[in-house]
Every structure is written in C-alpha cells, then in structure tokens.
Structure 1
Amino acid sequence: MIDFITGRGLLLLSLRRMYELWVNHSSQIIKQFSILIGLPLEMSNNSDSSLEVFSPAKFPKAMNELSALLEAIAATSIYFKAEIVVSYIKSHSLRIEWIEANPALAKIVTSGLLKTFSLETLFEANRNNKNFLRDVENHISKQLLAG
C-alpha cells in the first residue's frame, strides 16, 4: 500500500492513495469489526442514531459477557454493585467510597479476569447517544439488582 520511494510528490501520492483505499473500503472494515465484536451491522431505519433504542437481543456477545459477569460476582455484596460495574465498564473508573464499601467486587471487576470488551465497545460506540447509554446502564443495573 505504501510506496517506499523518496520524494515529496510520491509521498503525497502515497498518502492520497492510502486515503482513497480507506474511503473505498472503510465500510467493509467496519462491517468486519462489527461482526467480530457482535455489534449490529445496521442501525434501525431511523436516520438519526440518537433515536436508536437499546435492545439486548441486538447485542448477544455483550449480553453473554454480562451473564458471565453476573455469575462471577453473584456472591459479592450488593453495596454499590450497579455503580461499580457500570462505571468500570463505561470508563474504567471507580469512586473511592464504592471501593471502600465493596472491596471484593471492586477487586473482581478491576482484575482483568472478566471479559468485558463487547460491553465496553457498546458504551464507546454509542458515547454520543445519551438515551441509548441510559438504556444500557438501566438494563445492566436491573440485571445486577435482580441477581
């Protein structure tokens, strides 16, 4: 893809070619990545993604990770359980008072032993869709409190 010939004009030509390749094939790259991590390939028929509604059935890999996480933390204290899990998946951050109130859960969640890639990607991919994120957080919280 990259020409290894020196010269400013050829380098510019190479960068232009790389850009053209990205523009022409980016949708295929994104599609393959979406398949890999289990995100839906298309949004709903709404042209405005802020209207997209979270549905657990659309994200089977993320929901499988959530099920495994729920199983792994089932025996931990209820104190700040939803806050710890959602905050860690969303931004890898925890408040000191949460850690002090539920150190066992904080240790499990931050250990890196639990797979949360698809859940984290779900938050990251929708970071500008506040309604969608709220729905995801509510779903995770309900699952945690039900278990």
Structure 2
Amino acid sequence: MLKYSKNFIKDFDEFDINKYPDLIEDLNQISNRTADLPHHFKAEILISFAKTHSLKNEWIMANPKFVAVVTSGVLPIVNMESLFETSSKHFFFQQQFEQYLTRRFQAG
C-alpha cells in the first residue's frame, strides 16, 4: 500500500503540498465529489479515517452521508493513507499535514 517509502520523510522535513501532485489531484477529486454533502466534521472524518480507519460516534451521527462516502472506498484516499503511514514517526510533519487538510476541508 505504501506509495512513499519509510525513508521518504526525514526528521526535520516540513509538509509542503506542492511536493505531492498526486495528493493534490486526489484532494481536488474528494472536494468535487463531496461538495454537495454537509460540512459537519468533514476534516476530522477524512483525517481520522485515512490515518487510523476509525471514527468517533459523534462524527458519524453528525454527518452520516459524508461518513458513508468516505468509508465506501469510492474516494481516492490511498495517497493520503500512505503519507500518514509513512510519516507516523514524524510528528511535526504529520501535524502540518493534518493542519493543511483541516484548513482545506473546513473551508468547504
């Protein structure tokens, strides 16, 4: 599953979306495919599912339509999952990645 090797991210690397053109395309597709769905907890749902494949009940109850789409396998989240897995030991990088996703999907 890993698109990015375990050594891809170095200890002091910072997240820069421009280094991941495939991820940019995936995020654009996700935004387009889910634009008409409610925005409640979109960022939290997407991040948590791509990172750990787990969701809080509060999010599921607040936005069941978005949860259904995210968990159905129709959205291109493989690159996101791979980057989360690859960066699992790089807290700063992963924190920046999550902040980017949060800003992007809280905006709509």
Q: Give the alignment's TM-score, normalised by structure 2.
A: 0.89
Higher helix share: 1
1:4-23 counterparts in 2 under 5 A?
none
State the identity as a percent. 32
1:96 Cα shift? 0.9
User: How many residue pairs get matched?
Assistant: 107
User: Tell me, which stretches of 5 or more residues in structure 1 are unaligned?
Assistant: 1-32
Q: What letter corresponds to residue 65 of structure 2 in structure 1?
A: A
Q: What letter corresponds to residue 112 of structure 1 in structure 2?
A: G
User: Tell me, which stretches of 5 or more residues in structure 2 are unaligned?
Assistant: none
Q: What letter corresponds to residue 84 of structure 1 in structure 2?
A: I
Distance 1:43 1:106, change over 3 A: closer
Relative contact order (alpha carbons < 8 A, sep ≥ 6): 1 or 2 greater? 2
Instruction: Show the counterpart of 1:131.
Output: 92
Q: Give the alignment's TM-score, normalised by structure 1.
A: 0.67
Larger radius of gyration: 1
Q: What letter corresponds to residue 23 of structure 2 in structure 1?
A: A
Structure 1 runs (4+) deviating above 4 angstroms are none
Instruction: Please state if 1:51 is matched with 2:9.
Output: no
Q: Distance in 2 between the 1:82 and 1:116 partners?
A: 13
Q: Distance in 1 between the 2:30 and 2:38 partners?
A: 14
